[in-house]
Amino acid sequence: MLTAHRIALDPNNRQATWLARAAGTARFAWNWALDQWQQQYAAWKADNRRPRPSEAALRRQLNAIKREQFPWMLKVTKCAPQMAIIQLGQAFENFFDGRARYPKFRRKGVDDRFTITNDQVNVRGLRIRIPKLGWVRMREPLRFSGKVMSATVSRTADRWFVSITVDTDDPPRRPAENQGVVGVDVGVTALATLSTGETIAGPKPHTALLRRLRRLSRSLSRKQKGSRNRVRARRKLARLHARIANIRQDALHKLTSELPRRFHTIVIEDLNVRGMLANRRLARSIADMGWGEFRRQLEYKAARRGGLVVAADRFFASSRTCSACGHKLEVLPMAVRRWLCPACGASHDRDVNAARNLARYAVSSTVSACGEEGSGGSRKAVVKPASTKQEVSFVPA
């Protein structure tokens, strides 16, 4: 099993300068290869007798000219430009297979990173050896034991990190406490509402630090380009953005670790997050909660415990359906947070009612009428909607 551990580095000034130079070399190699790929692909489309571009051919082309045209590349590890071109080839492969968008040019200050192969990196205790640089201190030791596959050094704000990928043995699964099935309804007022009635309030770091973010952004816009004051202002703003991201990640990791520990089956909504971000009234609140990252973390952490994550159908009316009798409302505006069922008179909190309906959805998803998924001992981490339409059987409370 491949596992990555991201560790903060503690380089001195000379080492930080070298890391920035290596990241710049990798960025230049990516942009050079992307430009060459576009030119060679256009020529191949015009004349099929020409060779189609590939990452292997581009790496050979760069090696042939870098000593004369780019001699400064020799001052850093050879892995920086070579791995950048290999990653570009993987990006194009993902694009042609429909798994990703078209690769973009990397930008300085945004895409500062480079990768080292396993034969060039060595980790010992609180140090990591980077070729042509030497030993660099790490803030904590590597948590996993096994074969080191690669190491990616990146910069966030003014801090350097290394992500070490290790090939480890599959750890023994720690089963959940088996508190049953839980429905999780994510929202913008609260990060998550559980079918048990629990409400987890999100930290909303972007909203909490928005005034300071605006002040630092205005300060940066008033600085003269190329001045040292602008560099300092940009660094302050980058630190604040990193702090906001760290607060959000901390809350998501805590919640996504707690849910698989308690429940063996977790039901969530299959939300179109990208489409919902097009709503200018809700985009900031949705992004501040991190719904997409919440689902990603929940899926792999549940798989580690042998649990099950069920994604309810995108058009399942979880909020408009009464969890007591099954009556479905025609319309339920977003502003309505509590409502009375006209059929049975039950009073519902919008989010709690949605979470309870999601919990009941697991019955029809794990015991499928089409026979595609079962609820036996070998559970899958993610259950996708069935290929044929299924009738959701409502189970009254």
SS3 content of the chain, % helix, strand, coil (to 5): 40, 20, 40
170 secondary structure, DSSP code: P
Question: Tokens 């130079």, residue?
Answer: 21
Instruction: Judge whether 169 and 1 are in contact, CB under 8 Å.
Output: yes
Is 170 a residue of the active site? no
Maximum distance among all alpha carbons in the chain?
81
Catalytic residue among 351, 372, 373, 391: 351
Question: Tokens 């990006």, residue?
Answer: 91
Question: Tokens 């309505």, residue?
Answer: 336
Strand boundaries in 227-307, DSSP class E: 265-269
Catalytic residue among 55, 112, 185, 288: 185
Q: What does the alpha-carbon distance between residue 63 and residue 76 come to, in Å, rounded to a whole number?
A: 14
Is 351 a residue of the active site? yes
Q: What does the alpha-carbon distance between residue 289 and residue 276 come to, in Å, rounded to a whole number?
A: 13
Is 55 a residue of the active site? no
Instruction: Name the burial class of residue 391, with classes exposed (0-12), middle (13-18) and buried (19+) by CB atoms within 10 angstroms of its CB.
Output: exposed
The catalytic residues are: 185, 269, 351
